Amino acid sequence: MIECIDVSYSYHGDQEKATISCKGGTLKNINCKIENGTFVLLCGASGCGKTTLTRLFNGLIPHYYDGELSGQVLLDGKEYKSLSLFDISEKVGSVFQNPRSQFFNVDTTSELAFGPENHGLPKDEILNRVKIVAEQLKLTDLMDRSIFSLSGGEKQKIACGSAATIEPEIFVFDEPSSNLDAFAISDLRKLLITLKAQNKTIIIAEHRLYYLYDLADRVLYLKDGQIEGDFIGKEFAEFSSTQLEEMGLRPLVLDTLSQLDTQKRCSVGSPWVVDNFRFTYKKSKKETLFLDKIELFPGKVVSVIGHNGAGKTTFSRCLCGLEKRCKGNVIHDGKTYNRRQRLKLCYMVMQDVNHQLFTESVKEELLISMPKENEQTVDSILTEMDLSEMKESHPMGLSGGQKQRVAIASAIASQRPIILFDEPTSGLDLFHMRRVADAINKLAESGKTILVVTHDPEFILRCCDCVIHIEDGHLKEHYELQEAEDRQRLLSFFE
Amino acid sequence: MTSELLASKKNNTGIQFDPRTKMAVLFTLVIIILGGSFQTTLYYTPALLPLLFFLFSKMWKSAAIYAVTFLACLCLQFFAVPYVPGIPGYLLMIIVLLPLYFSPSIAIAYYFVATTTVSEFIAGMERLHIPRQITIPMAVMFRFFPTVMEEWKAIGDAMKMRGIRLRGGKAGAILEYRFVPMLMCCVKIGEELSAASLTRGLGGPVKRTNICKIGLHIQDILFLLICLAGLVFQIILWIIG
């Protein structure tokens, strides 16, 4: 049982630390009691304190992250402060947001054995537990594999397994779905059902509610660091979409999305034609991408969907000219663009924007993207993207959302006609997701050709005109989103 | 698609060796070849060791490449180098001697990284009673290296796309553009990685178990004896002169 009595918390020296991992996230006067065997969903907008609360529950606060903590947090009646992380790790297992950074080992079996190894259990006992957990959580196919060969969803399942081998009573999840596709999310749901059936206590902080709201026994709604609502699961499931929207939450049922108004934009100018794209991985004999002909219209937004590994990312990388092994051209107005020329034609806003912010100030960042440096244009773009106040700040010191806007601003500054977005909304709450959608709509209205690789159906309906569905490297479907039945077709892919 | 320092998946073909044996052979070979005068016949015997390992592990391709490179250089050294005069002769000598000199060590090092998994390596280190303060950072390094390479590539792509290339004396700026985001990303990943390991009880007060099965078998003992003999011989040579 976990109990919080008058708990308040704030991260130390906010500014510096906040840039690395914990934006906002202070807590005020938290009082709650979590009984054994309950499934608790923590929800709320970004920065509301969900993640901070999970860190209190797994002991990373106060033992790993510094900060000012007042009040008492109790685990089975003992204060977290008096327990060591090692003691806590016996009772609480954690799964984190980023599948890339939660493995200590490089192979899956060692990773599952890692917890019990640290606890010094006898070897046979460990091997036995690894076997049982692998069977229970259906990980047997993933055993004895290299971590680096797994997809994000597989990694997340191994992370759950790794937490489960210590046999904790409590599982704490921090936004486990934010980097996963629709397929992997439904696997994650099955895994949560298994854990729930074992009568474990499950505490999960999440933005995407559609895949788990019906599992929750209890829902805690946080706002600005306080518990604003404490609902019984069934009660929460009845909430209307307008109620949820007022709370800043994503919808529970995807179906309601088909009523959204989609964009009705006309294309301006002639299309960019993707002609005969072929791509083969090194050491692989089979071609992984064959796209004969796709037309991309200026002034429209195209979303690229498909399961993980279907070739969406490969396609966008080929389009940008980043894959040397890619054969094929892009034709526009009778002019052919080869790979090298496409490097100057396209601009990709990457999933991890940290990879593409290089300079010391936001202004500088835009200037180096421009074909010809021009400070006036910089000012007007910054005003448009709501960044003028940060003109002189270091990009790495900004919040995640602001960094993303800087990357979009440099895409505009580059004056390139085609702009790609790779998973721009992974891990974003309703408010921030809409903000990105608005930015993309504006870009489209200014005549850019836009491609968005995404797993977020709501986001697609808010800003995309049509859908390219890629499976196994082939173009499966290409359709517009104007009609209600097409929107239904899109949603059925995500269910 | 990733570059890994040590193998992350077990390779079960052929005869298996204990990581300690491989380390001992690597060590011995480096000492004998780089420390000794390689003109002696003593040199050619240890050069056979990598070949034996490749054959035992059924790594046919590596064995062939190594044997061909080594023999070709050897032939050139005997039948070509003495007959080419002047500067071309010197050049040829360098081209021939470098691989002759370094290929056994490189081959055995390659064998080591290609056949040893990280867990085996750590288990081996633990059996040698190397303290945890050394083994844990090493384990982290093996885990971290491929990640750093991934970050490096992603940042390189971003630079290529934005057209940031070496031009007009901007070398310093290029380095900065590459290293600043990379350090930021690595710090973030490192921070998350330590948090995750701590919630799995790393660094607790109890003695850690290691489920990895390693042990010295007859083949290990044989090779360890060969190494010992080689080292003793080398030391005697040093003492004599």
User: For every one of its 495 residues, what pLDDT tens digit does chain A have, with 9 covering 90 and above?
Assistant: 999 999 999 886 554 444 444 446 789 999 999 999 999 999 998 888 899 999 999 999 889 988 889 999 999 999 999 999 999 999 999 999 888 888 888 889 999 999 999 999 999 999 999 999 999 998 999 998 888 888 888 899 999 999 999 999 999 999 998 878 878 888 899 999 999 999 999 999 998 898 999 999 999 999 989 999 999 999 999 998 889 989 989 888 887 777 777 667 887 888 999 988 988 887 676 778 888 889 999 999 999 998 877 888 889 999 999 988 888 899 999 899 999 899 989 999 998 888 888 888 899 889 888 888 888 999 999 988 888 888 898 888 888 888 888 999 999 999 999 999 998 988 788 888 998 999 999 999 999 999 999 988 889 998 999 999 999 889 999 999 888 888 888 888 887
Report pLDDT for A17.
Answer: 46
Q: Using the beta-carbon criterion (under 8 Å), do B139 and A281 form an inter-chain contact?
A: no
Rounded CA-CA distance A176/A99 in Å is 8
Residues B149, A148 contacting (CB under 8 angstroms): no
Same domain, yes or no: B225 and B111: yes
Q: Which residues of B touch A85 (CB under 8 A)?
A: 198-199, 201
Q: Using the beta-carbon criterion (under 8 Å), do B143 and A105 form an inter-chain contact?
A: yes
Return the structure tokens found at B96: 């021939």
Report pLDDT for B79.
Answer: 87
Same domain, yes or no: B140 and B228: no
Rounded CA-CA distance A27/A376 in Å is 42
Same domain, yes or no: B112 and B227: yes
Residues A185, A67 contacting (CB under 8 angstroms): no
Q: Using the beta-carbon criterion (under 8 Å), do B199 and A58 form an inter-chain contact?
A: yes
Same domain, yes or no: B181 and B154: yes
Residues forming beta bridges with residue A452, ordered by sequence position: A303, A421
A166 Cα to chain B: minimum distance (Å): 8
Report pLDDT for B169.
Answer: 54
What is the ipTM for the molecules in this complex?
Answer: 0.84
Query: What mean pLDDT do residues B36-58 have?
Result: 76
- Specify burial of residue B5 (Cβ count, 10 A radius: 0-12, 13-18, 19+): middle
Q: Using the beta-carbon criterion (under 8 Å), do A355 and B154 form an inter-chain contact?
A: yes
Rounded CA-CA distance A74/A58 in Å is 11
Top residue of A106, A341, A361, A410 to mutate, by most chain B CBs within 10 Å, is A106
Report pLDDT for B103.
Answer: 87
Same domain, yes or no: B107 and B135: no
Residues A210, A251 contacting (CB under 8 angstroms): yes
Query: How many C-beta neighbours within 10 Å does residue B239 have?
Result: 7
The CATH classification number of A272-345+417-494 equals 3.40.50.300
Q: Which of B51, B39, B105, B96 is nearest to B72 (CA)?
A: B96
Residues B9, B22 contacting (CB under 8 angstroms): no
Q: Using the beta-carbon criterion (under 8 Å), do B161 and A92 form an inter-chain contact?
A: no
Question: What residues does each domain of chain A span?
Answer: 2-250, 272-345+417-494
B142 Cα to chain A: minimum distance (Å): 8
Enumerate residues 6+ apart whose C-beta is below 8 A from A269. Answer: A297, A298, A299, A447
Q: Which residues of A touch B196 (CB under 8 A)?
A: 94, 96, 101-104, 159
Same domain, yes or no: B27 and B105: yes
Q: Which residues of B touch A122 (CB under 8 A)?
A: 209
Residue B235 located in a structural domain:
yes
Domains A2-250 and A272-345+417-494 in one fold: yes
Same domain, yes or no: B226 and B111: yes
Q: Which of B141, B177, B135, B136 is nearest to B156 (CA)?
A: B177
Residues B92, B81 contacting (CB under 8 angstroms): yes
CA B106 to chain centre: 7
Q: Which of A266, A319, A318 is nearest to A297 (CA)?
A: A266
Q: Which of A277, A345, A283 is nearest to A311 (CA)?
A: A277
Same domain, yes or no: B40 and B104: yes
Q: Which residues of B touch A148 (CB under 8 A)?
A: 1-2, 4, 8, 146
- Specify burial of residue A58 (Cβ count, 10 A radius: 0-12, 13-18, 19+): buried
- Which residue has better confidence, A470 or B171? A470
Rounded CA-CA distance A408/A400 in Å is 13
Same domain, yes or no: B107 and B218: yes
Rounded CA-CA distance A147/A108 in Å is 6
Angle (CA) A200-A203-A205 rounded to 5° is 150
**Regarding beta strands A39-43 and A27-34, do their DSSP bridges make them parallel or antiparallel, or are they unpaired?**
unpaired
Please say if the pLDDT value at position B104 is more than 90: no
Note down the domain range covering B98.
Answer: 19-116+214-240
* Strand residue runs (E) in A366-486: 418-422, 449-453, 466-471, 474-480
Positive/negative CA dihedral, B120, B124, B129, B134: negative
Length of chain B: 241
Report pLDDT for B36.
Answer: 63
Enumerate residues 6+ apart whose C-beta is below 8 A from B15. Answer: B56, B57, B219
Q: Which residues of A touch B180 (CB under 8 A)?
A: 358, 396
Same domain, yes or no: B30 and B109: yes
Residue B136 located in a structural domain:
yes
Q: Which of B112, B105, B108 is nearest to B7 (CA)?
A: B112
Return the structure tokens found at A263: 């964009």
Q: Which residues of A touch B191 (CB under 8 A)?
A: 20-21
Q: Looking up tokens 């902080």, which residue turns up? A: A205
Q: What is the pLDDT of residues B59-89, one digit of tens each?
A: 899 999 999 998 898 888 888 888 888 888 8
A471 φ/ψ angles, rounded to the nearest 5 degrees = -135, 135
B164 Cα to chain A: minimum distance (Å): 8
Q: Which of B55, B53, B102 is nearest to B227 (CA)?
A: B53
Rounded CA-CA distance A60/A100 in Å is 19
Report pLDDT for A276.
Answer: 86
Residue B60 located in a structural domain:
yes
Question: What are the distances in angstroms from CA A364 to CA A377, A387, A393, B156?
Answer: 13, 13, 10, 19
Instruction: Grade residue B165 by pLDDT with cuts at 50, 70 and 90.
Output: low
Report pLDDT for A172.
Answer: 96
Count of domains observed in chain B? 2
State which of A85-94, A310-319, B175-184, B187-196 shows the largest mean pLDDT: A85-94
Rounded CA-CA distance B185/A19 in Å is 12
User: Number of CB pairs < 8 Å for A and B?
Assistant: 191
CATH classification number, A2-250, choose in 3.40.50.300, 3.30.365.10, 3.30.70.100, 3.10.580.10:
3.40.50.300
Residue B121 located in a structural domain:
no
Residue B9 located in a structural domain:
no
- The H-or-E segment that residue B221 falls in is helix B218-240
Residue type, B184: M
